[in-house]
Each structure stands twice: as C-alpha cells, then as structure tokens.
Structure 1
Amino acid sequence: MKKITALLLSTSMVLTLSACGGAKSDDSANVSGGKKVTVDFWSAPNTKQVAFWNKMAADYAKDHPNVEIKVSQMPESPTSEAGIQSAIASGTAPTMSENITRGFAAQLAENKAIVNIGETDQFKKVVTDRKMEKTINNWKLADGSQYVMPVFSISDMIAWRTDILKEIGVNEPPKTYSEMLAVGEKLKAKYPDKFLYFNDRISQPTYYFRWTDFFMFYNAATNGNMFVEGNKMVADGKAATDVFSFFKKLSDNKYLLSQKANDAFETGLAVSRYLRTSDVATWKDKFPNLKFGENYAVAPVPVPDGVSTADVKTFADAKGLVVYASATKEQQAAALDFMQWLLSDAKHDLELMQATYNTPARDDVDMNDTFKAFLDENPAIKVFGQQVPNGIPTMNSPKMVDIHTILGEKGVNPIVNNGADPAAAWAQTETEIKAALSKK
C-alpha cells in the first residue's frame, strides 16, 4: 500500500496525550471542558455493528450531554482500509473508529495517523477493569507501544461433524496432523465422495484468506510464534514448511475440498471446516438441525506430531478502536472517555455478544457471571470465549498485505492447486518476503 500523504505529518497532527489522560467518565464537563464536543465515530461496514454502536452512543449521551458520539458506517472503497486511508489523506478522517487490525494499525502508526493510547489512564483502566492482561499483550507493536484497544477477538477454530465421525469409528476430533490424516483415510474408505476438510479460500490469492488457512495452522504449530516483527522476518521456517506439507497431504489424498461448494459442511459433504462465531449465528436460523454437542463440535486447530495439544494458539479475527491524530485535543479526550465508559462495563460486552456474536477481547469470557446466561444458551460460543487468550491478531508489520500476498501466490496456492513441493515453496516464499521487508 502507498504511504499516506505528507498531510499526515503536519504539525497540527503531532499531538501530546496529556490532555487525553485522567478524564472522569462520570463527569461530562471534565471530559469536554464544559463545551459541546462532537466525536465522529466510524463503525465497521456491518449493519449489526452499526446498530450496536448507535445504541452505545445513545446510552453514553444520557450521562454526557456535552459530548455527541456521531456514528456512521466507514466507507469501503474498495476496502475499509482504503476508505480510511483516503479520508486521512483528504483531511476528512473521523475522531475514532473501530474495525482496525493490528497490522493496519502498524501502517497507520508508521505514518503518524493515529494516537499512541497505551500510556493513557483510560487505556490502563480498561485493561484492568476488563480483565484483559493476557489478551492485550498480543497487540503490542514492534517497539512495545499500544495504538489499538481491541474490542473483540474471535479465535479461529475447527468445526467437526461428530455424527459422521462416529459413523467411521472416530469418537473425538483429531488433535494432530497424523490423527487428522488417519480420519481422512477412514472417511474415504466408507464415504469416498466425502471430504475431510473444506476451505474454499485456500486455493485463492486474496491476501486476507491467509488468516483462515496458513496463519491458523502456523500459530498452532509454533505456540503463537510471530511471523514478522516490524520489518524483520522471525518466522519458524520448519513449522511453516510443516504446514505447507500438511496442506499438500490433504490435497494429494483428496481429503481437501478447496473449491466453492455451498454449505459443504452443513450438508455433510465435508466433515470439518474453519469456523468463526458468525457461522454459529447463521446456523441457528439457517440450519437449526445442526446442534452443538449433538452432531457437531468446535475444536482447536490440529498441530504437528510432537507439539503440545494444550492451549493451542490460533489466528484471531480481532479488531479494535483507534483515535486519529488529526482530531482536536478535546475530541481525543472525549473519544478516550467513551472508550473507557464502554469497555470498563461487562454489560456492554454482553450487548456486543448478543448483537454480533463476537467474543469480547478479554481473558474471562467463559468465567464472567455477566455472560453466563448467554453462554449457557449458546454453548458453542462459550468454546470461543475460552480460546480468546489463545488468539493471535494480525501480524505486527506495516507490510502485512504484501507479505500475505506472497504467502498465497508463492506458497499456499501453488501447493494446493498445482502440487508444488513444500520445501521449495517455502524457500521462495521466504526469499520474496525478506526482499519485500527490505524495501523502503
């Protein structure tokens, strides 16, 4: 992606944080200095999330009459990231937005477009009140700074059709590569037309599709080892090659369904697939016969043989709030106060789950009494809640898109589409990523 224009570097955008710290969320005058302040808030382009943020803004306004949180849906031209970049370059950025990954935050921070909020009183209070000490560590940038306050974190998991597994003599989801391949052999022996694993993204080059194939398995294989840190490659080459080799075995044995197939898992054509909470929400209405604990289970990502199967790490679809450097000091202070008000109260996280099924980015989702009734009614979501601390957000690099693109075009796609050699594919992938990282 192109660097954001020099407009970002104007002195009006280089702001200190002293005015942002210490505001009391129960005192509107302290937050706004006694005058009316408008915080332009951009929500993700998702109707459920827009509705959630509009409700939060209205609730906040009841006790903060001098602050207006004005919610609108962020533009997508052609992506939300591009829409944000365009707004920053044209001087029309909001005060605050959600829907920011750690990788995109690294790019925005490099261009001084967002505020380093990690040392503010509000940030520290939320981390404590929200019980997110483990989760927040995964959000640091290369220099240890924190630019994003994560709102939700959805650890990618594997769904298994346990009813079909039982038909082939398998009583629980496999935990290792060899166990999963053995399940594939049993499945094909009884049902030659069925597939072990469904992922129609794995054959396509779109950069963010690597989140639901390579990085799920890489994070699991390495206990969450970073792939890059800033502009330095720190990937575990053996683990990456092991992941590539596993993908090749799935493909070569025809265990992998990598082409589009409507509802392949839901109809039983495939017995496993990657899963997120949004899929569980869809199933409740569209596939009511799919019942957690009866005919499907949610399990961690399998790991290479010899790797611990306890507390398996995975990729997390995790996004959060940022404050833009172009906002006034008063707007920044009000935005941070809204963040503290919102995230220091577990009831707001409950409303988030009820509205979107997104699991909050906190360590105690499955143990907090505020969420108990909801999770008892939605036991599959409880499994995701247990895995929040094991979710690794997008990589810590402003060149995330370039790196992911190379991973697809030189690694994952040639292996599953053309049977490429895993070791050779990794060697080329590593060489090209290092070259991309070295470019200014």
Structure 2
Amino acid sequence: MKDDTTKVNTLQKTVSATDGEVEAIGTGLQRGLANRHLMMLAIGGVIGPGYFVGMGNGLSSAGPAGLLICFGIVGTLLWAVMQSLGELGAFIPLPGSFTHYTSMLIDPALGFALGWNYWFLWAGIIMAEYNNLGLVLTFWDTPIPRWGWVLIFWGFFLAFTLLGVKSFGEAEFWLALTKIVAILAFFLCAILITTGVLGGHKIGFRFYHDPGPFADGVKGVFKIFVFAALQYSGTEMIGLTAGESSNPGRDVPKAVKSVLWRIVGIFLFGIFFLTLTVPCNDPDLLSARSKTARSPFVIAFTRVGADAGAHVVNAVIVVTMFSAINSALYVGSRTLYGLAAEGLAPKIFGWCNSRGVPVYSLVFMNLIGFLSLLNLSSGAGHLYTWIVSMTGIATFITCIDGSEHQSLCPPLWSSGLEVLCWLWSYR
C-alpha cells in the first residue's frame, strides 16, 4: 500500500494533463472521442445481445419480480462504482485501462491482477459474441455456414477497428442510437399488448399473479446474479475512454451522471415491460427451436400473432452484436495497451500506428475471437454457457476498482485540497 505522501506526489505529476488538452497523454493513443460519442456510449453502449436474447433465461429462473430485484441490486452496485470511476477519469484521464489507478493509488500487484482480469472479461465477451453472431445469422436461410459468418466478420472488424478511435466512436454512436430506438419501440408495443390493443386481450399484471412474481423464490434471484452482472458489463467503458476523450474534464462527468438513467430507463423499465408481456413459465423461453425464437421479445410478438416481429428482433440482435464486438475489440486492445505501458504485458502490445491504434494489441484481441469456432465441435451453447459464467464473475471482480476512489480521497484531504466526494457521491 502506498502512503499518502507518495499518492499526492504521484497525483501532482499526472493531474496537469487534464482539461482541454487534445493531444494524447503519453505516447500513442489520440484524443478523438467527442462529447456526443461518450454520451451515446453511456446511454446505449451497455445494451448487448443478452438484453434481447438472454433475458429469457433470467425470467424463467427468477420470475418477473425476481428479475427486477436482481437487476436493481446489481445496478445499485454498478452505479456506486461508476461514480468513483467517473471522479478518477475526469481528474486523471490516463490512457489505456483504468486499472492504472489501482497500481498508482493502491498497489501494483493489485493493478496487475485487475488489469488481466478485465482483459479476460472482454476476451470472453468477444468469443461469446462471435459465437452468437454465427448462430443468429443462421436464423435466415443462407448458403453460408455458421463458421463462414464468423470468418467474414472477423476480417471486417479487424479492418474497421484499424481505422482509429474516431471511427469507433462514430460507429458506436449510430449503433447505440439504433438500439435505443428499438427499445423505445418495444416499450410502446408492450403497452399496446398489455392493454389489449395488440392481440385483442387485455393482460395487465396477470403474469405477476399467474404463474406468480417469483419462479424459484430467493434461490431463483441469487441464481441470476452472475447473469445480471454480465448484462451490465460495458458500463465501465466510460472510465476507459477518458484517455481518448477530447475534453475528459467536461465530457466524462456528463457521461457518468447518465448512468443512473440508463440503469432505470433501459434495464429496469425494459424488464418491467417485458415481464408484463411474457409469463416466466412460457415453454419457448427454454425450448424454442432457435436462439432468436427463445428471445422474450420475439415470444411477446408471437403470442399476439405478430410473427413478423421475429425478423425485426433478429435484425436488432445482429446490430447489438456488431456493437458488442466493436466495443470488445476497442476495450480489450486498450486494456492490453495499458498493461504494456505499465510493464505488465509484453512491450509489443504498447506500439501504436500513426492513427493512434495499438495494432498488435488489436490483432491479438481479435485472434481470441477464433476460439468461438471451438463450439462447432461441441453441443451448441456449451462453450457460451462457460464463457458467460466466467465473464460474469470477472465483472464482479472488476468492481474492486471502486476502492481506488476511497484510496484517493484521504491523501487529497491531508494535502488541503477540497474534495467534493463522500461515499461515492459524485457532483
């Protein structure tokens, strides 16, 4: 553990590289993310394929009320961590992974462990999403096999992400906007379904009475905690983008403050409307013929006779997978770059081209996606299940990063600086 004097001296050396600077801190990465990019990342960047597909498993395991309670608890934990990470990101916008703060403020050994844990989290996500992309695209009858889709988009994403951080930010802006519009459209459709405008039968809160609010009592709620953590993963991306924001002192606090509304508006409201339209004992949640057909969003439309909704939902799922793979490549490569900059990974991963892209980190991260092809030789979904379990646990471990914030405040208080932060409250 570092003493207060060491921490203050370290902060004085790094805090000067904050407000308004447009050049990169250190060498390599460039500040190419504008305010609108960060805001859209904060609002829509966390919406992944699991939101549209995986919620079915959560609903069948915990029931409607259990699903809401679990996501509310995990969301509260995440909000607290994000307030602390936002304070650090705005105050000390370091390039690469935010695990720099752990090494700087607590201990290099913990920074090493959390850095590689965070990289593993995104390595697991990119494997899962390449696997899922191949599965979802087989929903439509095409001559291209599942492994063919994986190879095609592997090459596409590698070429696209080499364009630089501005291209990443612009792509995520429009992909996130598409996801948000789709969710708002579902909110409207859910209201029409529950009131009987679509389907001709008023549902109301019927599914909270029969089959009931909980599928398996308290056990069912605890059963999906890891799943809920994985669905929230990506929110912390705002802290990582601070090093490539054009004005982190202004943009990062705005993005972090929107996290609460994202948790309430996208997850809790979305889950609430979902539980009104689909019962937790619907057999299609677990036994439908395809991954898309198991989506509770598809089931909601199918129950009211709108079978065309399956094609629309599948298209939205493909969009979310594009966003998830794009984000995983960005976050994973920057994390590896940050580890190399600290001497915690091979130096070759710290090299950037003229566009500010850590090329070797990016190529290595994308190569991890090839491991999704292992699923072709095993039962469909087995590899994905293991990856979800491991990456969900890695998400909880990443929350340890919130302790850096409490390690930051005491040395600043002792140095006489005013700190507007108490127990993770961010202003």
Normalised by the length of structure 1, the TM-score is 0.29
Question: Which protein has greater RCO, CA pairs closer than 8 Å, 6+ apart?
Answer: 2
Task: From the two aligned structures, give the one with the greater strand fraction.
Answer: 1
Task: From the two aligned structures, give the one with the greater helix fraction.
Answer: 2
